[in-house]
Structure 1
């Protein structure tokens, strides 16, 4: 329902009461999900322009130049609330929605990433959500033939009642032939094609702007859309073929707020008249509100000249898709809907789209406890506990459910980033953030989230082209949450400027909290990063290669995996300096290193288990816990044959790679312990064992 303030503002502007259709349009288009009303001023601080940016924020997706004859189209979305209520369909339709954002730009989707955030994996509800979210993503992505090449999974009690399902999609298009979502001229026709419209997904945009509660779960199930990946595959091919004709003047997918959202936003440069009776329906007896606001999946809306309507219809029919000419662009700046011969909506289009009043919310800095309590236990036991934490452990159980090599572009999905071949260069992808650290220091560690993704690219010799983000927070009505959000955006933006990686698009997902569990999520400004580099796989070092720790280690255990498994607390890392990363990236690109990984979750012990699980290492440092488990950013574990390659870097040689199945032998100060291959394997397969047995 519209708030009393919004309703009063609108009726005063119009000088009359709203019809049912008008009220439904405002409720959805003025929701936080569609209007960004409480975040608009903060988002304006982000850097959005760059040398390679062709089209930045404001459309369905961004367009960034990759080469002279190829552009990347990239977008990021969330489907959080639906994925709690119905995890399989919620996650699947999240994939379908972001893919349609890409094809609406006239691009062909080539890759997906899925940063996911769940509660504690020892809870049966979490295991259920985890299983069905992954199944929904894998099932939909595999069916439409778009590979999932990268992801992140975080498990923390704050997500117990409100998991986060974020999805990034990347596509390719000719830089001179992409589509946009704004109509071009009065008199042109609007053609809807794809699936028939049903009652599923009603109120989805407003649902995404509310918190979750146990009592609402069953009632809100109707707000979750049901996807059909086989129809989506046909929609991809039909839309790409339509775009190739050069006759499509603008295009938009039907997502949040359904036909009302797509057609009003699309027509906001002029105006539109929609005849709701013409929409092809799946169910009989649907009223105008249901037709206009339903969020049935796999639907697209295009603007074409009157003489090209039949051509678009013939292409839709070729792919066995239904279509309807449902309206036209008008010169008058109004949004008009007719149904059964009556005008059921007649609004100033600029009031409906973009007319949301500014929303200035109070903010209060959040105080956090950074006291440190030294954890008890043997060093080996702590190391195994860190390696077994599901944030660090192998994601094989997830990975094996996704088709990574469909379309035949995928070079590597191992370890730090996904790599796809595009001509003579590589498209390199990374995603995620560290909510535990961001909760302790939002500005610094949102900046570090950008840094960490760029470091993942650097380990493959690539540099960032651009960033998309999904800003997941609890209710902005809580002053401390609004402060966390503002600080996170400022930190993200400052590091993006430093790395020359413009923020070209994204999504805001607020009200992520649960009455059922009495929780609100940790601040989670998730990053999706797209980079370019040489075509190369992530490589593991050979026996006899030496290992070096590059960068300086600080006492940064707050928000670490050691903190997660012991509750030790401590200080979170400061904002990282990119200088070291740039040097490592250049060494990797020049093949001067035989392997590299950055230090992040799990610290040095996790990096050793990933890069060199069969090695003997000796680490300098006064405190073994800091040396092994600190998560100071700006550090890399590298393997090399010639130490001269490291000239100019701050580093310490820490060991030598052994033969396969030697295991890991670690000496820190006066303490030494060994991890056998079987012990490392048991720790790293903790997710697989939990989910399979």
Structure 2
């Protein structure tokens, strides 16, 4: 009996609740539509679409619809064969837009659905694809309205397609790959032709680099293949080789030598080398920094950025950013135990005309990025425990997405040396066109054509696949089955195999690589940044044991070739050689970049030619203390992020001791996360924290760096970390490095990092730089981000039982201010709201006097159990910190301040090096003795009154607890 392959369409929609025609999702989409000016739209209802191709019996179709695609308690499902007479699509009261992924874009839901169908015994399923149906309700909604809604809100053309009415299913092009290799005679090209080639292939290589490539192939006496050129471009990209940090910089500024050779060595690594902490096990030589946890375990930490991809496709950019940094930790043989995220967006309420032409609206970028972070961490089972969200007009077209991951591993179990004869083995996901030229894409300034030209650089992650790969690697590590490991990140196999073979050389056949679909050219297979792949070097004798582990957890394992010991990278496609490059040339061939640095004309403007929002509001009449405090609590820099944080699972794995929000109502913001990894003994744990303030960077990049390091350290100290066991990571995000002002900002912030690290004794163990964070709008405007530096910290907490948290604990406890306050208003929240107070310090907070000694004394007090709550002073100053402590503990406080300055400086000025402490009343004397010789002062006490009483120089103000909660939670209405 003949069978034919059919395509079936399943539509799954939520059941309507009695009396509720429009649910919150429908109302939210309608509100977003009205923000686009589509006032006719009342509601937008979403339904899920599944297309299934195969030979499937009717009973099997019913099984798919009822038990796989649909939860019959809350959803309804209908199915039909595509091509049959279609029933009415949208309800009579609505019009429909349908959206689906473009062919070839990773569809993890479809992949998992196909796998689950096979698990159900439905063997005839060949392929699955997914989409969404949006039923739009409103009177007089036109095709033009629907088109605007689809293009601006419902569909991202980089990875999706849409239709009014019903969309037809589509599948990846299954034309067989020809295996043909393009050859380019670069040896005969003049400089202009070389630059044209670089631009045509989006290589982001300058003329000096192209000349070196030309000279190499002239010495080789042959043409360059497309795969060789793409490999060189990836290996030499800013993203991979950090050309700007390693550049020779000519400096035209007082206080600097005429030249700075290599910023990394001159400042960042120099600090670590001088500190020489014996508990640092690996710094700047591996996929992540590694420090000692105890005698049995080591902990690793890495933070990456995924900025350009998140601007083009927010969900996929953030999703794969999280997945990629988790793989970095897997690449040091560790088990991922925690994730962090610091996100920077344009104002969510920006008017459409304020958004740079050709870019997505900041609100859309933010919702996609947050969903991407949530999707990967939650599904992989890695808790998201620390982070932040920041807003500035400069991030409107170029968001910053910092993704971090911490891991744990037995000490001494991370092998790093492949040997000649070891097999080159790939584990995990299959290869597709997703992610092509991602490394070079991230090395260029974006413009309005970026999405169209760089769509292939965007990827979608598959966290379930990576979870299985992680399990396989841990088992392989414990069995000692591999001799080296790295992840497939930027550049894919080219980067992973190329780096592992940088000394030995390798000979691989990429025709063996498993593909998501046929039709890829050899260079596409080699350069694809398809996710969830790791490369390991495996001694031949261990291949069978590794394969058994992979089979047990359903991980695909592929033997591509071997490490040769001959010093050349040879890549074949079947019988054809597509790459044959000397490894020494590939990894040490790029010429050192020469750049210039000079202060901007206006040192507060960062990059004066860019259009940027002013750093502060116009001067306003001084507000009353209560009014000012409530406005600060509601400010985007301070207001609660709880609605976002609650989307993330921060307790999976059961190791989280101190959560992002804690206290009786679980809404008190914490300074850092504290974890107790499940495999460790005793009460020792670790703290993860961060320091970031872009407003400081726009005013003073040196002090921005000093402040970021100090904030990261004091946040860790506040939760019980030992200040003598804290390591830090740097992540620089700046604009165009060919501009002298950008390089001056880099030098100033790197110098600040060095000075602060030396002062605190906190070594840098890892870092990352991201340049070209600028956007050229189609109307000619250039928008650059504010200078941005994230400092992340990882510290050892000797006893997690003593981690105090920020929420006040009991009535009648004394409150102390630890540290030497030096309040200033440059880049402050108060100044942005109300302008500079008369006679105040307009500078950015600087290096705190006596802070390291104060932190050490405070740590002794915390370790002794004398501290019940502790909170650092940061955005909004002392008053904001006190308010957050009251909110978290649902208690009141009476505070009197003298000797710090006037009312505004004492309460709202921002300073480094200071924390508020609630001491345990019965042991307050012991707390004071432990702080002897360090700066501290008693400022008040807690009480049971539902208010915060603030007194400065005899002037008192009372702010109600309910008002503070409403302002901080974003629910306070203006009066």
TM > 0.5: yes
Confirm whether residue 651 of structure 1 aligns to residue 909 of structure 2. Answer: no
Q: Which residue of 1 aligns with 2:718?
A: 459
For 2:506 and 2:874, how far apart are their aligned partners in 1?
A: 51
Alpha-carbon offset, residue 13 of structure 1:
2.6
Q: Which residue of 2 aligns with 1:575?
A: 847
Contact kept? 1:461, 1:586, Cα under 8 Å? no
Larger radius of gyration: 2
Alpha-carbon offset, residue 141 of structure 1:
0.4
Q: 1:495 to 1:276 in 2, by over 3 A?
A: same
For 1:543 and 1:668, how far apart are their aligned partners in 2?
A: 22
After superposing the two structures, state which structure 1 stretch, 417-426 or 543-552, moved more.
543-552
Which of 912, 928, 933 is residue 633 of structure 1 equivalent to?
Answer: 912
Confirm whether residue 563 of structure 1 aligns to residue 831 of structure 2. Answer: yes
How many residues align? The count is: 686
For 2:211 and 2:934, how far apart are their aligned partners in 1?
A: 63
Q: Which residue of 1 aligns with 2:603?
A: 368
Confirm whether residue 624 of structure 1 aligns to residue 883 of structure 2. Answer: no
Contact kept? 2:775, 2:783, Cα under 8 Å? yes
Confirm whether residue 168 of structure 1 aligns to residue 414 of structure 2. Answer: no
Confirm whether residue 147 of structure 1 aligns to residue 395 of structure 2. Answer: no
Contact kept? 1:440, 1:572, Cα under 8 Å? yes
For 2:804 and 2:867, how far apart are their aligned partners in 1?
A: 11
For 1:198 and 1:219, how far apart are their aligned partners in 2?
A: 18
- What is the CA deviation profile of residues 478-526 of structure 1, one whole-angstrom value per residue up to 9, with x for unaligned ones? 1111111122122112222232222111211111112236321122221
For 2:544 and 2:623, how far apart are their aligned partners in 1?
A: 74
For 1:57 and 1:363, how far apart are their aligned partners in 2?
A: 25
For 1:668 and 1:200, how far apart are their aligned partners in 2?
A: 60
Q: Which residue of 1 aligns with 2:442?
A: 208
After superposing the two structures, state which structure 1 stretch, 12-21 or 380-389, moved more.
12-21
2:627 partner SS: helix
Confirm whether residue 70 of structure 1 aligns to residue 304 of structure 2. Answer: no
1:525 partner SS: strand
* Equivalent residues in 2 for 1:412-491, closer than 5 Å: 412-413=658-659, 414=661, 415-422=670-677, 423=681, 424-463=683-722, 464-491=725-752
Which of 671, 676, 682 is residue 960 of structure 2 equivalent to?
Answer: 676
Alpha-carbon offset, residue 267 of structure 1:
0.7
Alpha-carbon offset, residue 218 of structure 1:
3.3
Alpha-carbon offset, residue 35 of structure 1:
0.6
Confirm whether residue 615 of structure 1 aligns to residue 893 of structure 2. Answer: yes
For 1:402 and 1:528, how far apart are their aligned partners in 2?
A: 19
- What is the CA deviation profile of residues 208-251 of structure 1, one whole-angstrom value per residue up to 9, with x for unaligned ones? 11122223223323211110011111111111112122020111
Confirm whether residue 602 of structure 1 aligns to residue 876 of structure 2. Answer: yes
2:676 partner SS: strand
Confirm whether residue 43 of structure 1 aligns to residue 264 of structure 2. Answer: yes
Confirm whether residue 545 of structure 1 aligns to residue 748 of structure 2. Answer: no
Alpha-carbon offset, residue 134 of structure 1:
1.5
Confirm whether residue 589 of structure 1 aligns to residue 863 of structure 2. Answer: yes
For 1:494 and 1:251, how far apart are their aligned partners in 2?
A: 35
> Alignment RMSD, CA only?
2.1
TM-score (norm 2): 0.68
Structure 2 residue runs of 5 or longer lacking an equivalent are 1-202, 247-261, 352-360, 606-614, 662-669
Q: 1:391 to 1:538 in 2, by over 3 A?
A: farther
* Equivalent residues in 2 for 1:185-334, closer than 5 Å: 185-334=419-568
Which of 529, 554, 559 is residue 793 of structure 2 equivalent to?
Answer: 529
Q: Which residue of 1 aligns with 2:309?
A: 82
Q: Which residue of 2 aligns with 1:398?
A: 644
For 1:202 and 1:96, how far apart are their aligned partners in 2?
A: 17
Contact kept? 2:333, 2:409, Cα under 8 Å? yes
For 1:348 and 1:564, how far apart are their aligned partners in 2?
A: 55
Greater RCO structure (CA 8 Å; 6+ sep): 1
For 2:235 and 2:767, how far apart are their aligned partners in 1?
A: 17
- What is the CA deviation profile of residues 345-392 of structure 1, one whole-angstrom value per residue up to 9, with x for unaligned ones? 111112212322111210012343599985424222222111111221
For 1:652 and 1:663, how far apart are their aligned partners in 2?
A: 22
- What is the CA deviation profile of residues 544-592 of structure 1, one whole-angstrom value per residue up to 9, with x for unaligned ones? 1122223333341001111232354921111123222222222222222
Q: 1:62 to 1:548 in 2, by over 3 A?
A: closer
Contact kept? 2:507, 2:571, Cα under 8 Å? yes
Structure 1 residue runs of 5 or longer lacking an equivalent are none
TM-score (norm 1): 0.95
For 1:509 and 1:689, how far apart are their aligned partners in 2?
A: 38
Q: Which residue of 2 aligns with 1:351?
A: 585
Confirm whether residue 6 of structure 1 aligns to residue 209 of structure 2. Answer: yes
For 1:567 and 1:225, how far apart are their aligned partners in 2?
A: 43
